[in-house]
């Protein structure tokens, strides 16, 4: 009888993940805004002391990428929920990389050389449409039953929805089906994650493809037409349980970040902008045990900053202010710190969320920004466009990485003179506080004219894994 094998990067608890060896490489999705050149998966050396630290060390072209956006692993620690039942040999090996515009899903093999991922398969838009009834794949999370892939659009020919979740096979990457069995009222889609041992999935809302294809539409935004609710589902059955409306003015409820404690019943969701005052915000969801229902409350508000009209892009000039534009949040594996990307003002904020109902700001760094254009300390003479956007945190919580591009059409809308391409790393103190790593600044020509979006860390990171046991 063969001995069952378990991938050493599958961690039973958050504490085990934090104690594991640190990441040596970062994988970064890069895309050509013009669509004339190949998109790429870029590999960056993040091993301190390496002669190539902070440099691009691998480049895998992805022909017909279709604006590579969010991506994820074929398998992760959540596989341990079914340890010994079909997980023998399952490994965190393949990166599944959707093209947001093409609706294709590109499969990259990181073995045998993790610095040289190989494109081994493309799951076509037709398969996604015919088997799951969806298009415009956006975010992936590997779960115990397969890979959950949120999609913004409906089937081909009905791109405007409703969006939903497609389930893919861990091993073959085939599209199995739509995950939902009773979708309830959710129409728009964006992100999804879960409280694994509580059998609850949480999902969020952005907008249908036509609402974002060419950037945000002011008339839709000001009429509060974008998504503003989160949804709770039975994870095992794919059945909608409850919709929690954050309020119509809370436009675009995006990233959901549940506690890494598999028994927890709380987490955070970021809201891009309020049409009341241009602020951004973070909301905490929680289970009201006495009432037997899920609730949400705003726990962080980040105000807009006044700005002269001539400093603003046309889309913002009528308002005389630059909104923070909260585009991403990330929760450290130990559930201690929450990071909030303010892409408009060029700020990355750190909050101590030891008490998740009462976050306390403990750190802030500014790079880029619509008005400030704050340079990186490594190149003080170089004003930066874009700002902290997709943020990723190492398993031990000591390193924070981020890139500067949001989405091609939105880049152009808010940074019409060009967004460029750059990536930064921050060092986080154990008790809070952030500082920029001056030795780490891949930018410009290193990315060969492509824009950079999401980051994944070798061996897993704060937004990759679900754990099956308490620390």
Q: Report which of 238, 77, 98 is spatially closest to residue 142, judged by C-alpha positions.
A: 77
Mean pLDDT, the chain, whole residue set: 95
Is 395 inside any structural domain?
A: yes
- pTM over cut 0.85: yes
Q: How far is CA 446 from the centre of its chain?
A: 23
What is the pLDDT, as a whole number, of residue 157?
85
When pLDDT is averaged across residues 18-28 and rounded to a whole number, the result is 97
372 has a pLDDT exceeding 80: yes
Cβ–Cβ < 8 Å for 354, 300? no
88 has a pLDDT exceeding 70: no
Is 307 inside any structural domain?
A: yes
Residues paired with 40 in a beta bridge: 30, 61
What is the pLDDT, as a whole number, of residue 86?
54
| Cα-only R_g, the chain | 20
What is the pLDDT, as a whole number, of residue 2?
39
Buried b (16+ CB within 10 A) or exposed e, 288-327: eeeeeebebeebbebebbebeeeebeebbeeeebbbbbbb
Q: How far is 166 from 203, CA to CA, in rounded Å?
A: 13
Q: How far is 135 from 126, CA to CA, in rounded Å?
A: 9
Is 108 inside any structural domain?
A: yes
Instruction: Name the band, by pLDDT with cuts 50, 70 and 90, for residue 3.
Output: very low
Is 470 inside any structural domain?
A: no
What domain count does the chain have? 1
What is the pLDDT, as a whole number, of residue 353?
98
Instruction: Name the band, by pLDDT with cuts 50, 70 and 90, for residue 451.
Output: very high
Dump pLDDT digits (tens) for 142-151: 987 899 999 9
Instruction: Name the band, by pLDDT with cuts 50, 70 and 90, for residue 5.
Output: low
Is 4 inside any structural domain?
A: no
DSSP letter string, 143-156: ETTEEEEEEEEEST
DSSP letter string, 404-466: ----HHHHHHH-TT----BEEEEEE-TTS-EEE-TT---BGGGGTT-EEEEEEETT--TTT--
Dump pLDDT digits (tens) for 240-271: 999 999 999 999 999 999 999 999 999 999 99
Dump pLDDT digits (tens) for 171-229: 999 999 999 999 999 999 999 999 999 999 999 999 999 999 999 999 999 999 999 99
Weakest mean pLDDT among 2-16, 184-198, 278-292: 2-16
The neighbour count for residue 111, using CB atoms within 10 Å, is: 11
When pLDDT is averaged across residues 430-440 and rounded to a whole number, the result is 97
Q: How far is 174 from 261, CA to CA, in rounded Å?
A: 30
What is the pLDDT, as a whole number, of residue 138?
96
DSSP state of 68: B
Q: Report which of 461, 467, 458 is spatially closest to residue 394, judged by C-alpha positions.
A: 461
Kind of pairing, strands 175-178 and 164-168? antiparallel
Dump pLDDT digits (tens) for 316-370: 999 999 999 999 999 999 999 999 999 999 999 999 999 999 999 999 999 999 9
When pLDDT is averaged across residues 49-67 and rounded to a whole number, the result is 96
DSSP state of 254: E
Cβ–Cβ < 8 Å for 92, 75? yes
When pLDDT is averaged across residues 72-76 and rounded to a whole number, the result is 95
What is the pLDDT, as a whole number, of residue 87?
59
Is 7 inside any structural domain?
A: no
Q: Cis omega before residue 119 (within 30°)? A: no
Domain of 251: which CATH number?
Answer: 2.130.10.10
When pLDDT is averaged across residues 418-422 and rounded to a whole number, the result is 97
Environment class of 170 (CB within 10 Å of its CB; exposed 0-12, middle 13-18, buried 19+): buried
438 has a pLDDT exceeding 70: yes
43 has a pLDDT exceeding 90: yes
Domain range for 226? 14-457
Q: Cis omega before residue 433 (within 30°)? A: no
What is the pLDDT, as a whole number, of residue 144?
78
Is 293 inside any structural domain?
A: yes
């Amino acid at each position: 009888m063969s001995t069952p094998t378990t991938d050493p990067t599958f961690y039973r608890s958050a504490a085990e993940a934090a104690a594991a060896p640190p990441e040596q490489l970062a994988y970064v999705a890069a895309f050509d805004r013009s669509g004339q050149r190949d998109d790429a998966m870029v590999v960056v050396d993040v091993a301190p002391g390496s002669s190539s630290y902070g440099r691009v060390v691998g480049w895998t072209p992805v022909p017909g990428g279709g604006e590579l956006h969010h991506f994820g692993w074929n398998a992760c620690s959540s596989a341990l929920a079914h340890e010994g039942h079909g997980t023998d040999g399952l490994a965190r090996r393949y990166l599944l990389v959707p093209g947001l515009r093409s609706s294709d899903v590109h499969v990259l093999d990181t073995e045998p050389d993790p610095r040289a991922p190989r494109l081994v398969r493309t799951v076509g838009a037709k398969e996604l449409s015919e088997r799951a009834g969806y298009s415009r794949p956006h975010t992936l999370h590997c779960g115990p039953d397969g890979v959950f892939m949120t999609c913004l659009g409906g089937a081909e020919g009905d791109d405007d929805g409703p969006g939903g979740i497609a389930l893919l096979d861990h091993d073959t990457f085939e599209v199995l089906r739509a995950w939902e069995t009773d979708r309830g009222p959710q129409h728009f889609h964006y992100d999804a994650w879960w409280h694994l041992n509580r059998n609850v999935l949480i999902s969020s809302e952005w907008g249908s493809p036509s609402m974002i294809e060419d950037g945000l539409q002011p008339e839709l935004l000001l009429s509060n037409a974008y998504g503003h609710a989160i949804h709770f589902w039975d994870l095992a059955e794919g059945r909608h349980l409850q919709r929690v409306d954050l309020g119509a003015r809370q436009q675009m409820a995006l990233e959901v970040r549940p506690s890494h404690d598999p028994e927890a019943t709380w987490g955070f969701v970021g809201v891009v902008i309020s049409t009341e005052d241009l602020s951004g915000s973070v909301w905490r969801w929680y289970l009201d045990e006495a009432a037997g229902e899920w609730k949400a409350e705003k726990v962080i508000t980040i105000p807009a900053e006044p700005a002269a009209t001539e400093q603003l892009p046309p889309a913002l000039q009528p308002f005389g202010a630059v909104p923070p534009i909260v585009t991403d949040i990330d929760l450290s594996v130990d559930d201690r710190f929450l990071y909030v990307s303010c892409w408009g003002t060029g700020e990355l904020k750190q909050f101590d969320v030891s008490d998740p109902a009462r976050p306390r700001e403990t750190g802030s760094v500014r790079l880029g920004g619509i008005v400030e254009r704050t340079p990186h300390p490594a190149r003080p003479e170089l004003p930066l466009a874009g700002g902290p956007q997709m943020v990723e945190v190492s398993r031990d919580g000591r390193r924070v990485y981020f890139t500067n591009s949001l989405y091609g059409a939105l880049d152009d809308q808010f940074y019409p003179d060009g967004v460029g391409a750059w990536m930064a790393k921050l060092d986080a103190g154990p008790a809070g506080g952030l500082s920029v790593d001056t030795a780490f600044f891949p930018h410009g020509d290193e990315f060969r004219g492509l824009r950079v979006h999401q980051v994944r860390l070798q061996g897993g990171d704060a937004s990759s894994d679900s754990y099956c046991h308490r620390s």
